[in-house]
Amino acid sequence: MSITAIKGMNDILPGEVETWQFLEGKAREVFGCYGFSECRTPVVEKTELFCRSIGETTDIVEKEMYTFADKSDNSLTLRPEGTAPVMRSFIQHKLYNLDPVSKLYYLGPMFRYERPQKGRYRQFHQIGAEVIGVEDPKIDAQVLAMLDRYFREIGIDAVSLQINSLGCPECRPAYRQQLIEYLETRLSSLCGECQRRYQSNPLRVLDCKVEGCKQATCDAPAVIEHLCEHCDSHFNKVKNHLQTLQIPFTVNSRMVRGLDYYVRTTFELVTDQLGSQNAVAAGGRYDGLVQSLGGPALPGIGFAIGVERLVLMKGADQIAPEVPDLFLAAMGDAAVDQAFVLMSRLQSQGVRAEMDYQGKGLKAQMRRANKLGARFTLILGENELQTGRAQLKKMADSSQQEVSLEGLAETLAGQLK
Ligand code: ATP
Ligand code: MG
């Protein structure tokens, strides 16, 4: 039996990859405008990094991580998300010494052992951004403005921004306790999973997708009504800045994040196009994270976009694959040899040139040029070899012009504009 890819891990093939390249290219372009630089970290980290940052009682750490021992018996984990590795790198290389504000972005694969379904995979990709060093709510608004700009640039507008504040270590414990007491009064209506986790991770119960849990907790105390003065003022300023920047949003006081490090501002971009996988991007503040990982006490905020979900929304066939600029058709051995040399020269000059390798007749070569969608064709025979000139055919309207083989790259450059 032939070998197939691992369940939940996908190949990205020509025809679809163009959409990926478009989405990645736009991210680099937009994030660059906002002053972000790319940070590439390894896909594998010490397991401890994720346990300490994401939190032992989260779904990710409890059941979704690809953790294994290497040959020296070190516990390693395929990264399930990008923030913790970027923070690890930030601390390790003391990037805070370079500038009080660090703006970093990343793109690449993440790994979670989840039940594969539409929009949910075991290897999936995120495009994420992080700002470390700024507590000012202006940066919360700016990060959201950048996310908004990105979605405009890629032409996806079927998303809406939901924001919430999760409070801080000052105010959250009291809220958490109140929520646990509230949940205790309706334990029997909660799903098994929530009955198990309501004490260890009560906020997550508010995020449970099970209908019974949603109903049972519909009047649960809202975290934004229990914020301390500092968090309340921060949240109000974020909302004001968003209004000033004309970024539409709604406050969703039930939104919680599945990672323990989030505090204060949290947000999701949601869509109704992807069934229950409705979050296309998510993020928030993680003010204590850098310090808890052994770095200085610097605040941070960031988001991650799920690329597979973007691709599903965008329609993978919307970005046309690249086509050859020129197909060289040749008749006779000498002309084929000459076409080969000419093609190589053109390719090195930046022209997407193609030819036949199967010894096909002229008709079959032209059919292939058509199938590839070549923009121009050039037929080389005895005569053309001798004169150094040939007919360049524009496939769109079948118009022909005589060109010199010598200056072909320049001629094409002029015509391909
Ligand atoms: P969800 O509620 O859908 O499980 P999450 O809260 O686990 O999402 P985050 O950890 O915040 O998601 O990741 C940010 C984004 O990455 C999500 O909004 C989603 O678009 C994407 N994402 C997360 N897990 C997966 C996955 N298994 N497959 C594909 N995309 C994913
Ligand atoms: Mg999840």
Tens-digit pLDDT profile for residues 46-99: 999 999 999 888 889 999 999 999 999 999 999 999 999 999 999 999 999 999
Alpha helices in 245-361 (DSSP H): 289-292, 307-314, 333-348
- Nearest atom in ligand 1 to 259's CA: 10
Distance of CA 59 to the CA centre of its chain: 21
Q: Decide which of 47 and 277 is more confident.
A: 47
Report which DSSP code applies to 391. Answer: E
Three-state DSSP at 308 gives helix
Q: What's the CA gap between 121 and 111, in Å, rounded?
A: 8
How far away, in angstroms, is 306 Cα from ligand 1 center?
6
pLDDT of residue 317: 59
How many A from CA of 29 to the centre of ligand 1?
23
Strand positions, DSSP E, 184-278: 250-251, 263-270
For 381-397, b/e burial (b = at least 16 CB within 10 A) is: beebbeeeebebbebee
Question: For the CA atoms of 340, 341, 342, 347, what is the dihedral angle to 10 degrees?
Answer: 90
User: Which uninterrupted H or E stretch holds 126?
Assistant: strand 123-132
Residue range(s) occupied by CATH 3.40.50.800 in the chain:
326-415
Question: Ligand 1 test: best mutation among 156, 309, 314, most atoms within 8 Å of CB?
Answer: 309
Contacts of residue 400, Cβ cutoff 8 Å, sequence gap at least 6: 391, 392, 393, 394
Measured in Å, residue 405 CA sits from the centre of ligand 2 at 58
Residues 6+ positions from 333 with CB-CB distance below 8 Å: none
Mean pLDDT along residues 175-188: 94
Helix (H) or strand (E) holding 330: strand 326-330
Q: Report the CATH fold assignment for 17-171+227-317.
A: BirA Bifunctional Protein; domain 2 (3.30.930)
Residue of 12, 2, 69, 64 whose CA lies nearest to 307: 12
Q: Which two tokens stand for residue 159?
A: 């998303």
Q: How far is the CA of 186 from the centre of ligand 1 (A)?
A: 28
CA of 90 to the centre of ligand 1 (A): 23
Q: How far is CA 346 from the centre of its chain?
A: 35
Ligand number nearest to the C-alpha of 268: 1
Specify the ligand 1 atom closest to the Cα of 305: 15
Question: What residue owns the CA closest to ligand 1's atom 7?
Answer: 258
Atom 12 of ligand 1 has which residue's CA nearest to it? 282
Ligand 2 center–CA 366 separation, angstroms:
51
Residues with CB under 6 A from ligand 1: 81, 112, 114, 119-121, 124, 126, 258, 277, 279-282, 304, 306, 308-309
- Neighbour-count burial of 273, counting CB atoms closer than 10 A to its CB (0-12 exposed, 13-18 middle, 19+ buried): middle
Q: What is the helix, strand, coil percentage profile of the chain, to 5?
A: 40, 20, 40
Atom of ligand 1 nearest to the CA of 119: 29
Query: What is the percentage of the chain residues whose pLDDT exceeds 90?
Result: 88
Tell me: the pLDDT tens digits for 316-343? 557 888 999 999 999 999 999 999 999 9
The fold adopted by the segment(s) 326-415 is Rossmann fold (3.40.50)
Query: Which among 6, 110, 156, 161 is the best mutation to test ligand 1's pocket, defined by most ligand atoms within 8 Å of the CB?
Result: 110
Q: Which atom of ligand 1 is nearest to the CA of 121?
A: 28
Task: Using alpha carbons, list the distances in angstroms from residue 190 to 82, 201, 222, 260, 312.
Answer: 32, 14, 18, 22, 32
120: DSSP letter: B
Is pLDDT of 105 > 80?
Answer: yes
Residue pair 260/58 in contact by the 8 Å Cβ criterion: yes
Q: What residue owns the CA closest to ligand 1's atom 25?
A: 120
Band the pLDDT of 256: cuts 50, 70, 90: confident
What lies within 8 Å, CB to CB, of 166 at 6+ separation is 172, 203, 223, 256, 257, 262, 263, 264, 266, 284
Which residues contact residue 98 at a Cβ distance below 8 angstroms, ignoring those fewer than 6 apart?
A: none
Start-end of CATH 3.30.930.10 domains in the chain:
17-171+227-317
d(CA 47, CA 131): 24
- Each residue of 377-388: pLDDT tens digit? 999 999 999 999
Q: Does residue 355 surpass a pLDDT of 80? A: yes
Ligand lying closest to the C-alpha of residue 281: 1
Residue with CA nearest ligand 1 atom 6: 258
Confidence check: pLDDT of 259 > 80: no
